[in-house]
Amino acid sequence: MRHDVSILGAGPVGCALALLLQRQGSSTVVVRPRKDTAAAFRPIALSHASRLILERAGAWEGLAPTPITSVHVSQQHGFGRTRMNAADAGVPALGYVIDYGALLDALLARAIERGIPVEDAPAQAQLTVHAEGTSDEATRKDYGQAAVVARVTTRPGAAATAWERFTPDGPLALLPLGTHYGVVWGARPERARELCELPESGFLAALAQAFGRRAGTFVAAGVRSRLPLALRLRPGRVGERTAFIGNAAQTLHPVAGQGLNLGLRDAWDLAQVLHGVEDPGEARVLQRFADLRRFDAAATVRATDFLAGAFLGSDPLSRLTRGFGLTALDICQPARRFFARRMIYGASALP
């Protein structure tokens, strides 16, 4: 059978696209590897815009993520901090934290429940969408950092605040997930290896030293995993009867928690462009999609790339500049609102 759209990759972005397309009547098939590897723990902060997209895909209900109502940003060994809350951005929550594996399982189960075929070999279709995650064909900029990821417990337990602390080695994020926190800690590769190899007590002590006690006392840490960080960009987003979305189009540093949010906006815009068209693989249709995504993707890549590098190093002048930057944002409500809404909606039209 020839489908309208074949989606390679049953990751969150591929599944979200399949659900959006099915709702608008396209015949869609999802292709996933016969043996997909189990996902390691990874806390994902979904923005309010991602919530709206998943609601429209009929996939939000039942996810039960942890809402973030405020974000606290600071730097180690320096003054200045910024606090942002949901009211700044005019939304019920700044974001929603969920474990990547739980999100993946829920979206795939929803696709299967809706009767979307999930196969293990590519199928004939008018359009093939690549959503297989990071591509080797993409250009690569190494950050000289690796992310250490773990679930940690604090006393008292986590509430609805997310914490981002910039350290001279790299950014350290604590995302509330139930009563625990998901930690994503960017560091030089040797330091990241060390942090993974330390006994639990040593890791908790290192965390307390870098982060301080503002989120409570660190009392337990789960399994730690580590992965290298790089910016990967595909030179083009469309080709002959093909389109690229999510990490297959761009893989970002996790510093601002933007990768999946941007990927879901890719999926949303592609579904909008394909709505009602006769031939989804037609060059004109695909060009419209590429044009629509250009600005949002470029702006998000630039902002993330800037944040990944801006807070590195510990020379006094940079610390001072960063301190003034954080303080200025903290006291200027319109700037906070602009920044928060950019992080939530990107530079795209709202769903």
Task: State the Cα–Cα distance between residues 162 and 66, nearest whole angstrom.
Answer: 11
Is 45 a binder of ligand FAD (CB under 6 A)? yes
103, 51 contact by CB (below 8 A): no
CB of 82 to ligand FAD, least distance (A): 18
Task: State the Cα–Cα distance between residues 68 and 45, nearest whole angstrom.
Answer: 9
Taking CB under 6 A as the binding criterion, the range among 78-86, 208-216, 254-262, 312-320 that sits at the site for ligand FAD is 254-262
CB of 42 to ligand FAD, least distance (A): 5
DSSP result, 51-84: HHHHHHTT--TT--PEEE-EEEEEETTS--EEEE
Task: State the Cα–Cα distance between residues 183 and 153, nearest whole angstrom.
Answer: 10
249, 11 contact by CB (below 8 A): no
CA 61, distance to chain mean position in Å, is: 20
Is 227 a binder of ligand FAD (CB under 6 A)? yes
Q: Which of 65, 254, 281, 351 binds ligand FAD (CB under 6 A)?
A: 254
Taking CB under 6 A as the binding criterion, the range among 187-195, 208-216, 233-241, 252-260 that sits at the site for ligand FAD is 252-260
Q: Which of 4, 5, 13, 171 binds ligand FAD (CB under 6 A)?
A: 13
Residue 237 or 319: the one with the smaller Cβ distance to ligand FAD is 237
Task: State the Cα–Cα distance between residues 222 and 152, nearest whole angstrom.
Answer: 6
Is 4 a binder of ligand FAD (CB under 6 A)? no
Residue 131 or 270: the one with the smaller Cβ distance to ligand FAD is 131
| The two three-digit tokens of residue 238, written as one number | 């469309």
Binding mask 189-218 for ligand FAD (x = CB under 6 A): ------------------------------
Task: State the Cα–Cα distance between residues 97 and 19, nearest whole angstrom.
Answer: 21
Residue 309 or 323: the one with the smaller Cβ distance to ligand FAD is 309
Task: State the Cα–Cα distance between residues 288 and 140, nearest whole angstrom.
Answer: 26
Task: State the Cα–Cα distance between residues 304 and 326, nearest whole angstrom.
Answer: 16
CB of 132 to ligand FAD, least distance (A): 4
Is 131 a binder of ligand FAD (CB under 6 A)? yes
326, 75 contact by CB (below 8 A): yes
Binding mask 142-181 for ligand FAD (x = CB under 6 A): -----x-x--------------------------------
Taking CB under 6 A as the binding criterion, the range among 37-45, 306-314, 327-335, 340-348 that sits at the site for ligand FAD is 37-45
Residue 168 or 171: the one with the smaller Cβ distance to ligand FAD is 171
**Smallest Cα–Cα separation from 103: which of 12, 203, 215?**
12
Residues that bind ligand FAD (CB under 6 A): 8-14, 31-33, 36, 42, 44-45, 100, 131-133, 147, 149, 184, 227, 246-248, 254, 257-261, 263
